Amino acid sequence: MKKLKEYEEEVYKCSRCGLCQSVCPVYKASLNECAVSRGKFNILNGIIKGELSFTKRVKTYLDLCTGCNACKDFCPSNINAKEIFTAAKAEYYNICKISFTERILNSYTLFKLLLLCARIGLRLCRLFKLDKVVKYFEKYLIKTGYIGKRIVLFNSLAIKHFKPGYKKNEGKKAKTAIYFEGCFNKYINSETKDAVVQILADSDIEFVTKNFECCGVSYLNDGNLKKFTALINKNIKQLNTDFDYIVTDCASCEDVLKQYKDYSNDNKSAELSAKTISITELLKSVKFKTLKPLKVSVHKPCHDSYDFIEIVKNIEGIKFIQTEDFDKCCGFSGKFALQNQEISREISKQKAQNYINSATDFIITTCPACLLGLNQGLAEISCNNKPSAINLFVFIAKYCRPVKD
């Protein structure tokens, strides 16, 4: 990875035209000039020239970014802002003393402990049918304010869309795929793995699971490369058998796994990056139809391509609803949602309102963090007939069947 100084020319290329303001979700929700690329480049220019130095405050401004890349796609100078911010944050971690709060926020052990607690909490919710009670009183809870909205958000994770009912095809398979589940699916959305296995039960692919750690997306985005490379090393140790693919159903995991080769010299990292594919790749040739007519819309994660939308559009029996800003950031981006809660909730709320206005039944997406973002937005709005945010594979497994030729 390049050092901040090596981006000097690119930072200088910013003409201060301000066009990035019109696409930056954080700027639109906060109207803070430091949130937009132009504002951050002003600060980084000062640092590169030696007129400013890294402080916690500078890091706070750099953290005002979901990493959505919208500014890169829109910038007339084609500046890769996210990459530059990551290099700047990596420098911050090298130079500055990290505060106790930052250590806590960066603790991987604590992150896993939180996921484990969430999993236990969600299971208890289901066991005692609290999810149904909360769903019943959802409208009133939202009106009570912050705590009520957070309860509704938590409860949205407890609601199971799908119970697996597949029969595993035990015949010899032509290819071996190692399944990279991702931590949200592993601890919270376990139905996603069941859905993927059901959809691909008849394919010629043997699925193998390993005990992977988190892909490291939030450490990479945060520029905390020490923690990120530690996770790469743990994950590549799991690759002790032959395999044809690493498959993942999470757009963010896919994006990060493909970058492992850039942060590690181990040949296994290069192999992992080269063999990583999305499960949507395996579904491109399969046709599905719904069990009943359904209105669906999509949310395109910032790190996914538009390919999965074609799969959705090709499902027989759906009415595809084109929703405004379907490809704009959902506002939930790891640590960003914790550090900038109000902005994150505002971005998610605007997204959710668009889907409610479009009167769709489902919002289909391919990233577990985006599911949280969409549910966070839906938990901000009290109304009848809200759509359900759902993972693409869970939607197919529950509501569709393959069309046989």
| Residues within the interface to ligand SF4 (CB under 6 A) | 14-20, 23-26, 36-38, 65-71, 75-77, 79, 81-82
Cβ neighbours of residue 39 under 8 Å, at least 6 residues apart?
32, 33, 61
Q: Which of 82, 303 has the CB closer to ligand SF4? A: 82
Q: Provide, rounded to whole angstroms, the least separation between the CB of residue 18 and ligand SF4.
A: 5
Q: Which is it for the CA torsion 260, 263, 269, 273, positive or negative?
A: positive
Task: Determine the Cα–Cα distance for residues 352 and 142; give it in Å rounded to an integer.
Answer: 14
Q: Provide, rounded to whole angstroms, the least separation between the CB of residue 13 and ligand SF4.
A: 7
Q: Evaluate whether 296 touches 361 at the Cβ level (below 8 Å).
A: yes
SS3 percent helix, strand, coil of the chain, rounded to 5, is 55, 10, 35
Q: Which of 42, 382 has the CB closer to ligand SF4? A: 42
Q: Which of 264, 333 has the CB closer to ligand SF4? A: 333
Q: Which of 44, 309 has the CB closer to ligand SF4? A: 44
Q: Provide, rounded to whole angstroms, the least separation between the CB of residue 150 and ligand SF4.
A: 23
Q: Evaluate whether 25 touches 67 at the Cβ level (below 8 Å).
A: no
Count Cβ neighbours within 10 Å for each residue of 180-213 and write b for 16 or more, e otherwise.
bbbbbbbbbbbbbbbbbbbbbeebebbbeebebb
Task: Determine the Cα–Cα distance for residues 159 and 122; give it in Å rounded to an integer.
Answer: 9
Q: Which of 17, 116 has the CB closer to ligand SF4? A: 17
Q: Which of 76, 402 has the CB closer to ligand SF4? A: 76
Task: Determine the Cα–Cα distance for residues 281 and 175; give it in Å rounded to an integer.
Answer: 14
Cα–Cα distances (Å) from 152 to 39, 162, 287, 301, 347, in that order, read 35, 20, 35, 23, 17
Q: Provide, rounded to whole angstroms, the least separation between the CB of residue 256 and ligand SF4.
A: 16
Query: Amino acid identity, residue 324?
Result: E
Q: Provide, rounded to whole angstroms, the least separation between the CB of residue 64 and ligand SF4.
A: 8
Q: Provide, rounded to whole angstroms, the least separation between the CB of residue 188 and ligand SF4.
A: 25
Q: Evaluate whether 298 touches 309 at the Cβ level (below 8 Å).
A: yes
Task: Determine the Cα–Cα distance for residues 117 and 123; give it in Å rounded to an integer.
Answer: 10
Q: Evaluate whether 344 touches 331 at the Cβ level (below 8 Å).
A: yes
Q: Which of 13, 119 has the CB closer to ligand SF4? A: 13
Q: Which is it for the CA torsion 189, 195, 201, 203, positive or negative?
A: negative
Q: Provide, rounded to whole angstroms, the least separation between the CB of residue 359 and ligand SF4.
A: 28
Q: Which of 34, 152 has the CB closer to ligand SF4? A: 34
Helical pair 191-199 and 392-399, crossing angle rounded to 10 deg? 60
Q: Provide, rounded to whole angstroms, the least separation between the CB of residue 356 and ligand SF4.
A: 24
Look at residue 220 and give its three-state secondary structure: helix
Q: Evaluate whether 205 touches 175 at the Cβ level (below 8 Å).
A: yes
Q: Provide, rounded to whole angstroms, the least separation between the CB of residue 28 and ligand SF4.
A: 9
Q: Which of 37, 224 has the CB closer to ligand SF4? A: 37
